[in-house]
Amino acid sequence: MVRRPVAQYGGTGLPLERRERRQPFAEPGSAGRERKAARDVRAEVHPSATVYPGTVLGEGVKVLENAVVGKQPSLSPRSTAKREPLPPARLGDGTIVSTGAIVFAGTTVGARVILGDQSCIRERVVVGDDVVIGRGSLVENDTTIGALTRIQAEAYITAYSTLEDNVFIAPCVVTTNDNYMGRTEKRHAEMRGPTIRRGARVGGGAILCPAVEIGEEAFVGAGAVVTKDVPPRTVVVGNPARVLREVPDEELLENQ
């Protein structure tokens, strides 16, 4: 997804100055071209941002005020585990990490992605190209987000979720992954976030119970509480959510 990583941070995790770096494969002797190349590969890191060593920033990446990129998860003070550090975060060309946003190590973000202000992407997440993650939203660990998916503001995407391409998550959507809320041993085996298929849309403030599947091109109404799978191209509403009708032709992806 990050096809041409061109910059790798070797710093200390302290705030960094804005840097210009030369494209490593720029042709020597072609000064004009070199200058252009250099301009292309510039990543802009605001002086108040923190980018950890090893982080890979694609061409034209911007890291805005107070953003933190490549942070390792904190080991719980009760944990006795010795965890290996995660590999560096990787951000594709043209991606923007907005003000106060956080990207953990071990995560790969595609090209032309916007990570909104004050958002947070945990470790081992894979984010496709042209994704938008809204302001204040959280994407938990071990989640996959397909290309062109849009997650609006203040949404919560739980760990172990799968969102395919062209999904639309409205503001303040809530997802869950544990029917036992921290009890029983079997919960560890059963813990699973939602699977949201290609082109599905989930309305504002809707709540998805653990492990539900939202079918292709399905539509979950605002405020619905989804307790079981939603068939493809189906509109559901209410608490608990029930089927209302079919998604009209004009709203299908292929007709946009």
Coil/strand/helix, residue 216? coil
Q: Are 178 and 194 in contact (CB under 8 A)?
A: no
* Contact status: 81 vs a second copy (CB under 8 A): no
* Contact status: 64 vs a second copy (CB under 8 A): yes
Long-range interactions of 120-126: CB distance < 8 A, separation 24+: 122/73, 122/159, 123/73, 123/86, 124/86, 126/1
Please say which residue, 17 or 84, places its beta carbon nearer to a second copy.
Answer: 17
Min dist. Cβ of residue 29 to a second copy (A): 31
Is there a cis peptide before residue 240, judged by omega within 30 degrees of 0? yes
Min dist. Cβ of residue 30 to a second copy (A): 26
Contacts for 186 with CB less than 8 Å, ≥ 6 apart:
180
Q: What b/e sequence results for 34-43 when a residue is b if at least 16 CB atoms lie within 10 Å of its CB, and e otherwise?
A: eeebeeebbb
Q: Cα–Cα distance between 44 and 7 in angstroms, integer?
A: 11
Choices 2-10, 23-31, 173-181, 228-236; region in contact with a second copy by CB under 8 A = 173-181
Tokens of 205: 């403030």
Return the residue of 47, 84, 188, 189 that touches a second copy, per CB under 8 A.
47
Return the residue of 5, 11, 54, 223 that touches a second copy, per CB under 8 A.
223
* Contact status: 191 vs a second copy (CB under 8 A): no
Q: Which amino acid is it at 7?
A: A
Min dist. Cβ of residue 82 to a second copy (A): 16
Min dist. Cβ of residue 239 to a second copy (A): 5
* Residues of this chain, 122-161, that bind a second copy according to CB under 8 A: 130, 135-136, 138, 140, 150, 153-154, 156, 158
Choices 29-37, 80-88, 92-100, 188-196; region in contact with a second copy by CB under 8 A = 92-100
* Contact status: 83 vs a second copy (CB under 8 A): no
